Amino acid sequence: MEFFTVPDQFLVEPMSDVNILFYIRERGPDQVNLKLHYSQNMLCFMIHGVKNIIDESQKYSMNNEQIGLVTAGNMLMTERVTLRQEFESLLLFFSNEFLTKFIQKYDIRLDEKSSDSTPPVITFPKDEYLQTFQKSMKLLEMDFKNAYFRLAKIEEILLYLLNKYPGEMACFINNAITKSQNNAITHVVQNHKFSNLKSEELAFLCNMSLSTFKRKFFEVYQTSPKKYMIVEKMKKARMLLLHNQRPSDIYYELGYENLSSFSLEFKKHYGVAPSLYPAQA
């Protein structure tokens, strides 16, 4: 099954923090369970047809009487055409970098509580304003090469939704940013878990304060950065020793500055010196 990155693969203009795409498929059968990676968050106005989205836990559906907000990530998407084989949607994309600037610009207060229960897809009915906004976007289609114009229209629709659905929108924004931060933590930690970097340095690489990094780290790994790093280093040390590598050859690879500090940590963890471990394993 082919894998699509959206909106990257469908844009004519260079990718930016805000992107607008008019998607039309005038003829053809349903497209079922397309593998999509949404590289940005998406606001979808269905015009003709039905869109079904499946994430890791649920299935969502939206038709031409609804709009849908979708957080960035991997999902399966199905396009159900009308009886006339029409499928058309207006897609507004915005990055988490845009969202961060957006909430700062308009001083939007988000609930600091965990947003784990917030679904990655939220739908709203099209009211009179949303219907009018959809029509106006179609009329302005040729003007969206201007990045400032795209930015203004996406800010407009998000401000409207925040005013009408403050709770749902705050949860969506918080969930999108949290998901991005957790992905950043996972990426940085997995690339540096055998280094000798301190929590402050890892937080810097994640572009977070130390307190935010520690809180987000616990959400992802259910332990502290220090404890996680020690466990990961000890697991790798055990594997290397069982493959007949000497402690003096591996301590630096595991992020220890000298053999004695590695040996002390290993004995504390496994109850035996690393030089004696292979014989007792």
**Domain CATH for 49:** 2.60.120.280
Residue 221 placed within a domain: no
Whether 39 and 149 share a structural domain: yes
H helix or E strand, kind and range, residue 23: strand 18-25
User: How far apart are the C-alpha atoms of 181 and 99, rounded to whole Å?
Assistant: 13
Whether 116 and 249 share a structural domain: no
Strand blocks (E) in 71-197: 73-80, 87-94, 121-125
Q: How many domains does the chain have?
A: 2
Identify the pLDDT of residue 57: 73
Whether 25 and 146 share a structural domain: yes
Count of H-run helices and E-run strands, the chain: 10, 10
The count of other CB atoms within 10 Å of the CB of residue 132 is 11
Last residue of a domain, one of 174, 195, 218: 174
Whether 77 and 160 share a structural domain: yes
Whether 243 and 163 share a structural domain: no
**Spatial contact of 89 and 23, defined as CB atoms under 8 Å apart:** yes
Whether 141 and 269 share a structural domain: no
Residue 9: what are its φ and ψ, rounded to 5°?
-75, -10
Considering the chain, what is the average pLDDT of its residues?
90
Q: Which residues pair with 31 in a beta bridge?
A: 79
**How confident is the model over 178-227, as pLDDT tens digits?**
888 888 888 888 889 988 889 999 988 888 889 999 998 998 889 999 99
Which has more confidence, 118 or 64? Answer: 64
Residue 161 placed within a domain: yes
- Indicate the burial class of 169 (C-beta count within 10 angstroms; 0-12, 13-18, 19 or more): buried
Whether 144 and 276 share a structural domain: no
Residue 27 placed within a domain: yes
**How confident is the model over 228-239, as pLDDT tens digits?**
999 999 999 999
Share of residues in the chain with pLDDT > 70 (%): 95
Instruction: Band the pLDDT of 148: cuts 50, 70, 90.
Output: very high
Identify the pLDDT of residue 114: 47
Whether 140 and 264 share a structural domain: no
**How confident is the model over 88-139, as pLDDT tens digits?**
999 999 999 999 999 999 999 876 554 556 788 999 999 999 999 999 999 9
How crowded is the C-beta side of 113, counted as CA atoms within 13 Å? 6
Residue 97 placed within a domain: yes
CA dihedral 176, 178, 184, 186 (to 10 degrees): -120
Whether 272 and 154 share a structural domain: no
R_g of the chain, CA atoms, integer Å: 24
Instruction: Band the pLDDT of 74: cuts 50, 70, 90.
Output: confident
Identify the pLDDT of residue 115: 52
Nearest to 220 by CA among 267, 186, 176, 252: 186
CATH number of the domain at 261, please.
Answer: 1.10.10
Residue 70 placed within a domain: yes
Contacts of 179 (CB under 8 A, 6+ apart): 71, 72, 73, 120
**Lowest-pLDDT range, 1-5, 95-99, 239-243, 257-261?**
1-5
Residue 63 placed within a domain: yes
Whether 246 and 169 share a structural domain: no
Last residue of a domain, one of 157, 174, 191: 174
Identify the pLDDT of residue 91: 97
**How confident is the model over 156-177, as pLDDT tens digits?**
999 999 999 999 999 999 989 8
Residue 92 placed within a domain: yes
Share of residues in the chain with pLDDT > 90 (%): 65
Domain of residue 241: give its range: 227-280
Residue 113 placed within a domain: yes
Last residue of a domain, one of 153, 174, 195: 174
